[in-house]
Structure 1
Amino acid sequence: MSAATTAEDPATGSSLDRFIDALTERGQHPLLQQFQAQQSQRHTYGQIGEQVLALARGVQRRVEPGEAVALLGSEGPAWIIAALAILRSGAVVMPLDVQLGDDTLAHVLEDSGVRWIFTTTRQRERLTRQAPQAHLVMLDEEDEEARVSWRSLMQKDGSLPANDSAAPAALFYTSGTTGPPKGVPLSHANLAFQLDTLARTDITHPGDRVLLPLPLHHVYPFVIGMLGPLSLGLTLVIPYALTGPQLMRAIRDGHATVIIAVPRLYRSLFDGITARVAQRGRMARALFQGLLHLSLVARKRWGVYLGRVLFRPLHAQMGGQLRVLASGGSALDPSLAWQLEALGWQVAVGYGLTETAPLLTVDPPGQLRPGTVGKAVPGVELRIDPQAAPEGSKDGEGEILARGPNIFAGYRNQPDKTRAVLSDDGWFRSGDLGWLDADGYLHVSGRVSTLIVTEGGENIQPDELEARYAEHPAIKELGILQRNNQLAALIVPSAGGGDNMRARIRDAVGHIAAELPSYQRLAEFALSAKPLPRTRLGKIQRHSLEQRYEQAQAEGDQALQREPLALEEMSAEDRNLLEHPAVRRSWEWLAQRYPKRGLTPDSHLQLELGVDSLEWLNLTLELGQRTGVELSDEAIGRIETVRDLWQELIDARGGAATLADPIEHPERVLDEKKRRWLQPRHGVVRASASTLYGLNRLLMRGLFRLRVYGREQLPEQGPMILACNHASYLDPFAVGAALPTARLHTLYWGGWTGVAFSNPLTLMGSRIVQIIPIDPEQGVRSSLALAAAVLERDQGLIWFPEGGRSPSGELQDFRRGIGMLLQRFSVPVVPVYIRGSEKALPLGRRLPRLTSIKVHFDAALDPKQLAQQGEGEDEAARIVAALHRHMARGLAESGRG
Structure 2
Amino acid sequence: MDEQRTLVGKLAAMADRGDKPAIIAFGEKDAETISFAELDARTGRVAASLSARGLDRHAVVAFMAEPSPAFMTAALGVLRAGLVVCPMDAQLSGGALEHVLQDSGAVLVFADRERAEKLRAHGKTPEIVLLDAPASEPRSLAALTAKAADRDVPPFAPADPDNVAALFYTSGTTGRPKGVPLTHGNVSAQLQALVDMRLFNDEDRMLTPLPMHHVYPFVLGFFFPLSFGMPVILPYGLTGPELVRAMSQGQVSVIAGVPRLYKALVDGIEAKVKASGALARMIFGLLLGLSMKVYKRTGIRLGKLLFGSLNRRLGGRVRFLASGGSLLDPELGWKLEGLGLPVAIGYGLTETSPLLASKQLDSREMDSVGVPLPGVELRIGKPPRALGGDEEARACAGGEIQARGPGVFKGYLHLPDKTAEAFTEDGWFRTGDLGCIDDKGILRLTGRASTLIVTQGGENVQPDEVEEACESHEYIRECGVVERGGSLAALVVPDLNALRKAGEGDLREAVRRALAEIGKRLPSYKRLADFAITREPLPRTRLGKIRRHILEQLFDRAKSGDAEAMGPAGPMDVSDMGPDDQRLLENDAARTVWLWLAERFPDRRLTPDTSPSMDLGIDSLEWLNVTMVIRERTGVDLSEEAIGRIETVRDLLSEVRGHASQEQAGPVADPIEQPLEVLSDTQKRWLKPLPKSKRILALLMSLFVKTVFYGFFRMRVSGRENVPTKGPFVIAPNHESFLDAFAVAAALGYRRSRLMYWAGWTGIAFRNKFFRFVSRLGQAVPIDPTSGIRASLAFAAAVLSRGDSLGWFPEGRRTRDGYLQSFKPGLGMVLARYPTTVVPVAINGAYEAMPPNKAFPRLFTPISLTFGKPMTPRELMARGKGNTEAERMMDGLRQVVKELGNLE
Q: Could you tell me the TM-score, scaled by structure 2's length? A: 0.85
**Counterparts of 1:316-395 in structure 2 under 5 Å?**
324-365=320-361, 367-386=363-382, 388=384, 390-392=386-388, 393-394=394-395
Quote how far apart the aligned CAs of 1:408 are: 2.3
Specify the SS of the correspondent of 2:52.
Answer: helix
Distance 2:509 2:858 in 1: 37
**Whole-Å separation in 1 of the counterparts to 2:616 and 2:30:** 33
More divergent stretch after superposition (412-421 vs 426-435): 412-421
Report if aligned partners of 1:281, 1:754 keep a CA contact under 8 Å in 2.
Answer: no
Residue-by-residue CA offset, 1:423-479 (whole Å, 9 max, x unaligned): 697632222221112222211222233334456654333333444456667766554
The alignment status of 1:41 with 2:31, answered yes or no, reads: yes
Decide whether the 8 Å contact of 2:491 with 2:555 is kept in 1.
no
Label 1:808 to 1:504 Cα distance change in 2 as closer, same or farther (>3 A).
Answer: closer
The question of 1:628 aligning with 2:639 is answered no
Give SS of 1:450's match: coil
Structure-2 residue corresponding to 1:689: 694
**Paired residues of 2:11 and 2:227 also in contact (CA < 8 A):** no
Match of 1:190 among 186, 192, 216: 186
Question: Structure 1 residues 202, 600: closer, same or farther in 2, change over 3 A?
Answer: farther
Distance 1:198 1:830, change over 3 A: farther
Q: Secondary structure at the match of 2:411?
A: coil
Query: For the Cα contact (< 8 Å) 2:397–2:434, is it kept in 1?
Result: no
SS at match of 2:731: strand
Using a 3 Å threshold, how does the CA distance of structure 1 residues 439 and 789 change in structure 2: closer, same or farther?
farther
DSSP 3-state at the match of 1:860: coil
Cα distance per residue 1:174-215 (max 9 Å; x no partner) = 112223222222233433333344456576665555443322
Give the structure 1 partner of residue 258 of structure 2.
262
Conservation of the 8 A alpha-carbon contact between 1:561 and 1:596: no
Return the match for 2:539 from 533, 540, 559: 533
Q: How does 1:149-228 map to 2 (within 5 A)?
A: 149-154=140-145, 155-156=148-149, 158-162=152-156, 163-164=158-159, 166=161, 167-199=163-195, 207-228=203-224
Structure 1 counterpart of 2:837: 828
Alignment of 1:583 with 2:590, yes or no, is: yes
Alignment of 1:544-583 (within 5 A): 544-545=550-551, 556=562, 559-560=565-566, 562-564=568-570, 565-583=572-590
The answer on whether the counterparts of 1:749 and 1:771 sit within 8 Å (CA) in structure 2 is: yes
CA distance in 2, matches of 1:458, 1:314: 44
Change in 2 beyond 3 A, CA 1:337/1:634: farther
Which residue does the alignment assign to 2:107?
Answer: 115
- Local SS of the residue matching 1:620: helix
SS of equivalent residue, structure 2 residue 363: coil
Structure 1: how far apart are the matches of 2:436 and 2:837? 73
Q: Conserved in 1, the CA contact under 8 Å of 2:493 and 2:537?
A: no
Residue deviations 1:749-774, cap 9 Å, x none? 33333333333344445455543333
Match of 1:888 among 883, 892, 898: 898
Structure 2 equivalent of residue 3 of structure 1: none
- What residue in structure 2 maps to residue 876 of structure 1? 886
Alpha carbons 1:697, 1:738 under 8 Å: kept = no
The superposition leaves residues 339-376 of structure 1 with CA deviations (integer Å, 9 ceiling, x where unpaired) of 33334432332111111111112223463423211222
Q: Which amino acid aligns with 2:345?
A: V
The answer to whether the Cα contact below 8 Å between 1:747 and 1:796 also exists between their aligned partners in 2 is yes
Task: Read off the aligned partner of 1:639 and give its amino acid letter.
Answer: I
1:82 lines up with 2:77 in the alignment? no
Matches of 1:257 and 1:816 in 2, distance apart?
55
Aligned partner of 1:394: which letter? A
> What CA distance in whole angstroms lies between the structure 2 residues aligned with 1:555 and 1:809?
29
Residue in 2 that maps onto 1:56:
47
| Alpha-carbon spacing, 1:477–1:720, altered in 2? closer, same or farther (3 Å) | same
The correspondence for 1:66, drawn from 48, 58, 61, is 58
Q: CA deviation at 1:57?
A: 2.7
Deviation at 1:108, TM superposition (A): 1.7
Question: Which residue of structure 1 lines up, in the alignment, with residue 90 of structure 2?
Answer: 98
Deviation at 1:794, TM superposition (A): 4.3
CA 839–527 in structure 1, closer or farther in 2 if over 3 Å, else same: closer
Displacement after TM superposition at 1:18 (Å):
3.3
Instruction: Structure 2: give runs of 5+ residues left out of the alignment.
Output: 389-393
Distance in 1, matches of 2:634 and 2:282, equals: 41
Residue 120 of structure 2: SS of its match in structure 1?
Answer: helix
Alignment of 1:268-667 (within 5 A): 268-278=264-274, 289-308=285-304, 324-365=320-361, 367-386=363-382, 388=384, 390-392=386-388, 393-394=394-395, 397-422=398-423, 427-454=428-455, 457-468=458-469, 477-482=478-483, 486-487=486-487, 489=489, 491-492=491-492, 494=494, 520=526, 531-545=537-551, 556=562, 559-560=565-566, 562-564=568-570, 565-592=572-599, 594-606=601-613, 608-609=615-616, 611-653=618-660, 654=662, 655-656=664-665, 659-667=668-676
The match for 1:818 among 824, 827, 832 is 827
- Number of equivalenced pairs: 878
1:284–1:850 Cα change, 3 Å: farther
Q: 1:709 to 1:643 in 2, by over 3 A?
A: same
Partner of 2:391: none
Distance 2:899 2:620 in 1: 27
Q: Label 1:256 to 1:689 Cα distance change in 2 as closer, same or farther (>3 A).
A: farther
Cα distance in 2, alignment partners of residues 136 and 839 from structure 1: 69
Matches of residues 762-777 of structure 1 in structure 2 within 5 Å?
A: 762-767=771-776, 770-777=779-786
Partners of 2:318 and 2:870 lie apart in 1 by 59
- Alpha carbons 2:494, 2:535 under 8 Å: kept: no
Q: 2:732 aligns with which of 719, 723, 732?
A: 723
Cα deviation for residue 91 of structure 1 reads 1.7
How much does 1:397 deviate?
1.6
Distance 1:314 1:618 in 2: 40
- What SS class does the counterpart of residue 63 from structure 2 fall into? strand
Q: CA deviation at 1:333?
A: 1.9
Structure 2 residue matching 1:539: 3-state secondary structure: coil
Tell me whether 329-338 or 560-569 shows the greater mean CA deviation.
560-569
One-letter identity of the residue aligned with 2:893: L
Contact 1:348 1:364 in 2 (8 A): yes
- TM-score, structure 1 normalization: 0.85
In structure 2, the CA distance between the partners of 1:131 and 1:762, relative to structure 1 (3 Å rule), is: same
Following superposition, the deviation at residue 725 of structure 1 comes to 3.9
CA contact (8 A) 1:627 1:657 kept: no
Q: Secondary structure of the residue that 2:331 maps to in structure 1? A: helix
Provide Cα deviations, 1:141-193, integer angstroms capped at 9, x if missing partner.
Answer: 122x4311101121335334234361332211111222322222223343333
Q: How far 1:720 moved relative to its partner?
A: 4.1
Please state how far the C-alpha of 1:78 moved relative to its aligned partner: 1.9
Separation in 2 of the partners of 1:189 and 1:177? 27
Query: Cα distance 1:349–1:233, how it changes in 2: closer, same or farther (>3 A)?
Result: same
Cα distance, 1:851 vs structure 2: 7.3
Would the aligned equivalents of 2:171 and 2:177 in 1 still touch at CA under 8 Å? Answer: yes
Change over 3 Å in CA distance of 1:570–1:133 after alignment to 2: closer
Secondary structure, counterpart of 2:691 in structure 1 = helix
- Whether contact under 8 Å (1:243, 1:647) holds in the other structure is no
Cα gap change, 1:133 to 1:342, in 2 (>3 Å): closer
Change (3 A) 1:455 1:829: closer
Question: Cα gap change, 1:764/1:545 in structure 2, threshold over 3 Å: closer, same or farther?
Answer: closer
Q: Distance in 2 between matches of 1:376 and 1:738?
A: 73
The structure-2 alpha-carbon separation of the partners of 1:554 and 1:687, relative to structure 1 and needing over 3 Å to count, comes to closer
TM-aligned CA distance change 1:763 to 1:248, over 3 Å: farther
CA contact (8 A) 1:92 1:171 kept: yes
1:164 partner amino acid: A
Q: Residue 431 of structure 1 aligns to a residue in which SS?
A: strand
For 1:31-61, what per-residue CA distance to the aligned partner results, in whole angstroms no more than 9, with x for missing partners? 223243xx24332325545433332332233
Q: Cα deviation per residue 1:598-648 (whole Å; 9 max; x = unaligned)? A: 443233444555544444444333323322223344444443333333333
Residues 80-124 of structure 1, C-alpha deviations (whole Å, 9 max, x = no match): 222222233322211111222332222222222221111122233
2:877 equivalent in structure 1: 867
Greater displacement, 806-815 / 645-654 = 806-815
